[in-house]
Amino acid sequence: MNVSTELEDLQNGQLFLVDKPLHWTSFNAVSKLKYLIKRKHKIKKIKVGHAGTLDPLATGLLIICTGKFTKKINEFQALPKTYTGTITIGASTPSFDLETEVDQTFPFEHITKDEILSVAQSFEGEQMQVAPQFSAKRIDGKRAYEFARKGEQVEIKANNITIHSFEITNIDLPNIDFKIQCSKGTYIRAIARDFGLKLKNAAHLTALRRTEIGSFNTNKALTIEELDKIFT
């Protein structure tokens, strides 16, 4: 990926595609880039922001903007996104992923390939989705996960989303690999939850990677190590 590390260019606006590693927050990645810029140019301030959060347990594409390009963040956030990952059926967790422990288990051996493919197809199109309690969605000025981690339930209003495509790429029960292209505001963990419910079972997300945002993809993204190198 060709980006300039010159201060004037960074202030005028640069777009960094970053491949976020597992366990990093999106804020960690933004802070890392901000630190590298300030260290290289011996400055105290620079505007840096990302265009769409990725959970710590997800990897993949983050668009990070500097300087005047931070004004374009909303534009980038509105782009469709593509994810690959794994849904595990037969068990649920409160967070719908591996952040929390399994709280219920169900037999899943009776579920057929045809049922799985049919459920995946049923998700395609416009729909209303309720975000997970363990999410960064704002409720009364706080993040929903702040309530959830205290064991407090809050009402989360459904949002309109669109699933452009939902492809099942491999089935090795209890694991189901998928590829999804969806609109802004879609929670893949909530899709995992609803996938289990539609199978009259339970499910949670056990792997997630964002591969594309609009026409941007991970093929041109920088790892954290590569980001380090271009600023040394």
Q: Do domains 7-78+215-230 and 81-213 have the same CATH topology?
A: yes
Q: Which of the residues 9, 19, 55, 140 is marked catalytic?
A: 55
Tell whether pTM > 0.85: yes
C-alpha–C-alpha distance, residues 198 and 211, integer Å = 26
Q: What is the DSSP letter of 157?
A: -
In CATH, the number for domain 7-78+215-230 is 3.30.2350.10
Q: What is the DSSP letter of 221?
A: P
Band (157; pLDDT cuts 50, 70, 90): confident
Q: 67-124, pLDDT tens digit by residue?
A: 999 999 999 999 999 999 999 999 999 989 999 999 999 999 999 999 999 999 999 9
- Give phi and psi for 14, each to the nearest 5: -130, 150
pLDDT at position 132 is 75
Closest CA to 158 of 195, 132, 193, 121: 132
| Residue owning tokens 């590693």 | 21
Q: Give the range among 7-16, 51-60, 150-159, 181-190 with minimum mean pLDDT.
A: 150-159
pLDDT score of 130 more than 70: yes
Neighbours of 66 (CB within 10 A): 24
| Residue owning tokens 């967790």 | 93
Spelled out in words, what is the top-level CATH class assigned to the domain 81-213?
Answer: alpha beta
- Give phi and psi for 71, each to the nearest 5: -70, -15
C-alpha–C-alpha distance, residues 27 and 36, integer Å = 14
Cβ atoms of 61 and 216 closer than 8 Å: yes
Q: What are the residue ranges spanned by the domains of the chain?
A: 7-78+215-230, 81-213
Q: 42-68, pLDDT tens digit by residue?
A: 999 999 999 989 989 999 999 999 999
Query: How do strand 203-213 and strand 59-66 relate by DSSP bridges?
Result: parallel
How distant, in Å, are the alpha carbons of 5, 67, 127, 200 from that of 46?
Answer: 13, 7, 39, 50
| Residue owning tokens 């996104």 | 81
Closest CA to 170 of 207, 123, 199: 207
Q: Is 55 a catalytic residue?
A: yes
